[in-house]
Amino acid sequence: MARRRRNRHTRVAALAAGIVLTTSPVAAGAALGDAGDRAAPARIAEWVVDLDATGLRDLLARGQVTSVGLVKAYQARIDAYERAYADQPGVNAIIRRDPTAIADAARLDAERRKGRIRGPLHGIPLLIKDNYDTADMPTSSGSLALRHWRTADDAEQVARLRAAGAIVIAKTNMHEFASGIETISSLGGQTRNPYDQTRNPGGSSGGTGAGVAAGFGAAGLGSDTCGSIRSPAAHNSLVGLRPSQGLSSRDGIAPLSDTQDVGGPMAKSVSDIALILDATAGYDPDDPSTKASIGRIPRTYTATLNDKALVDARIGVFTDYLSTSAPAQTTTALVRAAAGDMAAQGATIIDLPAQPALMSALDGSSVFADEVERDLNRYLAAPGSRFPRSLARLEPPADIVTLADIVTSGQVTPTVLQRLKERLGGSTAPQDGYRQRLARRTEAQHLLHELLRDNDLDALVYPAVSQQAAPIGQPQAGLRICPLAANTGFPALTIPAGFTPDGMPVGVELLGRPFSEPTLLGLAFDYEQATHHRRPPKSTPPLNP
């Protein structure tokens, strides 16, 4: 994908102007002055744990809390739970805090008092994965090698969120260079699951997942090459969307694979996913793939949130992913129960037979190992990037940083360093195998389209991860599911489906046709409202102010 470093501020200003809503300055100012400043700290401490961004939006609109108050409450939770406390090792989800968060919140509060409301996310604090460019903070992809890496501007999705009034409270840890599923990095260390801090939070967007679950921000952004949004959502009792390829810009997201990468939201509710999509989805000339979104985005995704959406829906159970192994039995039972709940809401549930041709095509269609060197080097060469010259000089050429420089530096967590070494030269090697994998991807897309069409299905349902989060240091099983969406570009939405006997969250996933996000959000909202499975983790309770 092309990277452009010009006219960003002009485009963002235009976007902001397009979404500004007006309210009465007198009413807005009076509400904040009369009620917001008197909100009891204990109530705010509970709100930031219990409420989603949609609920916080309503409190802000009624003047019951200020954005400064929210930012301070989230920062207090990071202070309390990020590092070791009591008998817990700490969540360790944050790479760095945004030093301007309080000032940004104060500015947005001032706008609200004057009656200028940018939209539903005005004054809402969010978490951003550390592979999203932020002009005011380094973007390190979790790596010591890139700890001083600075970009010229924000990633497109970050810029759109800021224009919509969202506040970046912090950048989150990730599995280094998005090359793993347990969220460990040389810069951030091991992130832990707040539902059991001896277990991993999923990955690679595990810092965002654990951070949102622990109440470090109202919602957040992750990226997904093969399960990196959906796995942390499942393991942290969150909603996570891997959007259709081309729905939202990847410009300014450090890549693993241009073919498979997407960036998308993680949140406590389906309605929050809709709010974030409203701010971020759409065409961006810096990401040519988004041209496919033109004419396929609703005026607002919130209009699709219907608690009757499952009535007469047809949903296919993708039985290839319902493992009968002992470690997966609980997850399989919860997914079966989720399908039953959808049926109780009016859906027709169809058990699909095994799909050997589709599974075979998926098995041979992963291309991120072929593309990572090519795509990461393109990203690292973006105009305006700033970095230590000593890093660039490790390998030729001496004036830009490349994957080879990063590998030679050795400043990468050992397991990831080995993977990066194995991928060196992949982009310049003979490409016959790569072309075959791309062809298998096209085959998988056709077969998946046929499966949905021939069975007249609105969506497929299956587990997001077939086993609960593994203890730290043990391999995480159950992730062979991720290619169904990742290797085809179809959208997939993970929703909380309950908990295992160990108290660990399980997620159920809905997959639909490209750009069927409105349908998926409606189905998921109906299921969510009928079940209310999500509950916050006990290891990070509301603070006692």
Which residues are known catalytic residues?
129, 204, 228
| Residue that the structure tokens 């890496």 belong to | 149
Residues 6+ apart with CB under 8 A from 127: 93, 168, 169, 170, 171, 172, 207, 208, 211, 212, 216, 217, 219, 220, 221
Nearest-10 Cα torsion for 470, 206, 530, 63: 140
Three-state SS letters, 331-374: HHHHHHHHHHHHHHCCCEEEEECCCHHHHHHHHCCCCHHHHHHH
Give strand pairing partners of 189: 185
Fill in the DSSP letter of residue 310.
T
Burial of 123 (0-12, 13-18, 19+ CB in 10 A): buried
Cα 161-94-257 angle, rounded to 5 deg: 65
| Residue that the structure tokens 């609960």 belong to | 468
Fill in the DSSP letter of residue 150.
B
**CA 227 to CA 242: how far, in whole Å?**
8
- The secondary structure of 71-103 as a DSSP string is HHHHHHHHHHHSS-BTTB-----EEEE-TTHHH
